[in-house]
Amino acid sequence: MRQLIITDQVLPGPHGERIPDGAVLVDGDTITEVGPRAEVEHRAGPGARRHDFPGCAVLPGLINCHVHLAFDAGSDPVGTLRASDDETLLPAMAERARDLLRCGVTTARDLGDRGGLAARLRDTINRGEVTGPRLLTSGAPLTIRDGHCWFLGGVVTGESEIRERVWRTAEAGADLIKVMASGGQLTPNSPPMWQSQFGTEDLRVVVEEAGRAGLRVAAHAHGTEAIASAVDAGVTTVEHCTWMGPEGQDRREDVARRMAARGIYACAASSRNWRAMVEKFGPDRAGAIYGRLTWLDSLGVPLITGTDAGLPGSVFDDFVGALELYEYLGFPPGRIIEMATVTSAAALGLGDEVGRLAPGYRADLLVVAGDPLAGLEALRHRRLLLARGRAVEGDQAATPTG
Ligand SMILES: [Zn+2]
């Protein structure tokens, strides 16, 4: 089916690009034309189903680069996960994936589940049996004995186990490899967040072995030392990137500059809970925490968007609430949209398929009422969401006239 989508403005993805009175033509699951309305209408000819959206904008489907579908976002996600068998967990994960999609996320990267469940869900979505975003999954993250998220099943000790684990994860159908380079928040009696779990040489082995399988590496790193090791090892994305030292914040400009030079992305992995943090800590302390993002940006480190959905309070159905952090930090809405589309797609290795409205790209697109360039709030007012060319349930498409 061919679909012609007409809006007051087309936002193709890159910051600064905007087509007033524009249109997008979709054929099946692929975008075939993007441009001024009259031109696209002319090329569409008769027979395309026409959707008119006055007062609206169309932009690429959004990308959430950091979710955990296996966690339920409740007060004890680890306890709930460990008490659930796979047959209970999988349908719950499918429901969370639908929540992601309903708020405009057409691509999501799962960075840690159990037993290959996210890969199973990805495959059922790809077969069209379940509605959900395009999913990339890392499988169980590599970690150390009693380390961060050891219960997901990715414990390794020493080089040969690292190689074997990466190889097995790739064999099981993972889209990338995730490694817990530092401690984290979630696991009782595990190393503190600032402390490294793996050294630079271990991380090099991870990157090398993943590269053999054609996979990228995402490194969870709160600690400054772990960030430096991950950057030196050549990972693709640094998750959290919080610059923690044993005595508090410890930003290292030389490391950030190496990140920028090597094109290594930073993902804040921060949910809509940022508002509660600002209230709890006050603007000064919250500014010190979130100010790292402005600082990274000023040094040229590419930022991508992710929410750590599944952790306590990190819900699956408020991606815009998470993006509004960047608005609070002073990023122009057009740049935030670019981060959540173009830049995130590139970080995931999908830069030629999703994250832009351009001929040949997948028909993942979002129509919203109002002007998202004037404020991200507009992204909450969805009028139509196409995922692989198919309207997501509940959307009222305009009257077909052609
Ligand atoms: Zn995470």
91 pLDDT higher than 90: yes
Is residue 381 one of the residues assigned to a domain?
yes
Q: Which domain holds residue 366?
A: 2-61+356-391
* Structure confidence by residue, pLDDT tens digits, 107-152: 999 999 999 999 999 999 999 999 999 999 999 999 999 999 999 9
Place of tokens 């349908």: 91
Is residue 121 one of the residues assigned to a domain?
yes
182 and 324: one domain? yes
CA 263 to ligand 1 center in whole angstroms: 21
Is residue 250 one of the residues assigned to a domain?
yes
135 and 147: one domain? yes
Q: How far apart are CA 60 and CA 110, in angstroms?
A: 20
373 pLDDT higher than 50: yes
Instruction: For residue 309, give the CATH number of its domain.
Output: 3.20.20.140
**Average pLDDT rounded to a whole number, residues 52-61:** 98
146 and 80: one domain? yes
240 and 329: one domain? yes
Three-state secondary-structure class, residue 386? strand
CA 262 to ligand 1 center in whole angstroms: 23
CA 112 to ligand 1 center in whole angstroms: 7
Neighbours of 177 (CB within 10 A): 28
CA 110 to ligand 1 center in whole angstroms: 8
Confidence label for 96 from pLDDT (cuts 50, 70 and 90) = very high
CA 311 to ligand 1 center in whole angstroms: 8
CA 315 to ligand 1 center in whole angstroms: 13
230 and 298: one domain? yes
CA 174 to ligand 1 center in whole angstroms: 16
In order of 202, 203, 382, the CA distances from 161 in angstroms are 11, 13, 47
313 pLDDT higher than 80: yes
CA 67 to ligand 1 center in whole angstroms: 6
CA 269 to ligand 1 center in whole angstroms: 7
Reading the block at residue 3, the tokens are 């679909």
Domain tally, the chain: 2
Is residue 401 one of the residues assigned to a domain?
no
400 pLDDT higher than 70: no
Is residue 366 one of the residues assigned to a domain?
yes
* Structure confidence by residue, pLDDT tens digits, 151-203: 999 999 999 999 999 999 999 999 999 999 999 988 888 899 999 999 999 99
Mean pLDDT of the residues in the chain = 95
**Average pLDDT rounded to a whole number, residues 30-52:** 96
CA 183 to ligand 1 center in whole angstroms: 11
Choose between 286 and 64: higher pLDDT. Answer: 64
Q: Is 280 exposed, middle or buried (0-12, 13-18, 19+ CB in 10 A)?
A: exposed
91 and 17: one domain? no
Instruction: For residue 38, give the CATH number of its domain.
Output: 2.30.40.10
331 and 202: one domain? yes
230 and 368: one domain? no
* Structure confidence by residue, pLDDT tens digits, 260-309: 999 999 999 999 999 999 999 998 888 888 999 999 999 999 999 999 99
Is residue 402 one of the residues assigned to a domain?
no
200 and 316: one domain? yes
In order of 176, 218, 370, the CA distances from 137 in angstroms are 7, 11, 34
295 and 365: one domain? no
Q: What sign results for the dihedral spanned by CA atoms 383, 389, 393, 396?
A: positive
402 pLDDT higher than 60: no
Is residue 109 one of the residues assigned to a domain?
yes
* Structure confidence by residue, pLDDT tens digits, 374-392: 999 999 999 999 999 999 9
113 and 78: one domain? yes
Is residue 398 one of the residues assigned to a domain?
no
Residues in a beta bridge with 382: 368
397 pLDDT higher than 80: no
**Checking DSSP bridges between strand 176-180 and strand 237-245, what pairing results, if any?**
unpaired
Q: How far is CA 159 from the centre of its chain?
A: 29
Neighbours of 359 (CB within 10 A): 14
Report pLDDT for 183.
95
66 and 27: one domain? no
